[in-house]
Amino acid sequence: MNKLAVPFLIAGGVLAIFFYFIKLLIGSLVFLLFICFIFYFFRDPKREITAKDNQIISPADGKIVGIEEYEKDGQNYLRISIFLSIFDVHINRAPLRGLIKDVQYKRGKFYAAFNQLATGQNEQNVIFIENEHGNIILKQIAGILARRILFWKQTGDTIITGEKIGMIILGSRTELEFPAKITLQVKVKDKVHAGISILGVWNEEN
């Protein structure tokens, strides 16, 4: 379990005890269920990272809700969008080895994370990563419930494939953008797992 759960567990425990002593057992039961949910939500399962250097792995657990190609500065890019429900593990992991060139926090709205509008308009953390095969952009996007985006690295840090780099509290969206010079290994509606699922492989010429 992630240590971030501790304040929620303490609050839930205090309230459960309070309602028990004033004999409002339903209230006590509600907060006991809340405590169970917190244990479940903040779970942090161990992952064996076996990805190769030329592979891009999923930065999040969830379902792929979008794969689209777009053009920027005369170059084609791919965007993969992953929706995390409140039942998914919410730890974000590094999708590949590289150097964090910049981190930009952008305030915004709180559309439901499965809504395409969330991509450009929701509050989000944008991380620019430099890799020998090509540069990528990782986005941690808040959802309708999420109000706290955590990122445990900073500009100038070197990250290794699969290491834990952040978390978004409650349902959210994670996106990857990179040059369209990879062979995709996933499709829309696929279920993916952070640190394990291979999203794509850099083409050999890169």
Active site residues: 172
Contact by Cβ (8 Å): 63, 89: no
Q: Is 107 exposed, middle or buried (0-12, 13-18, 19+ CB in 10 A)?
A: exposed
Residues paired with residue 79 on neighbouring β-strands, in sequence order:
68, 177
In the sheet that 91-93 helps form, which strands lie side by side, from edge to edge? 91-93, 164-168, 149-151
What are the residues whose beta carbons fall under 8 Å from the beta carbon of 131, sequence distance 6 or more? 96, 97, 98, 99
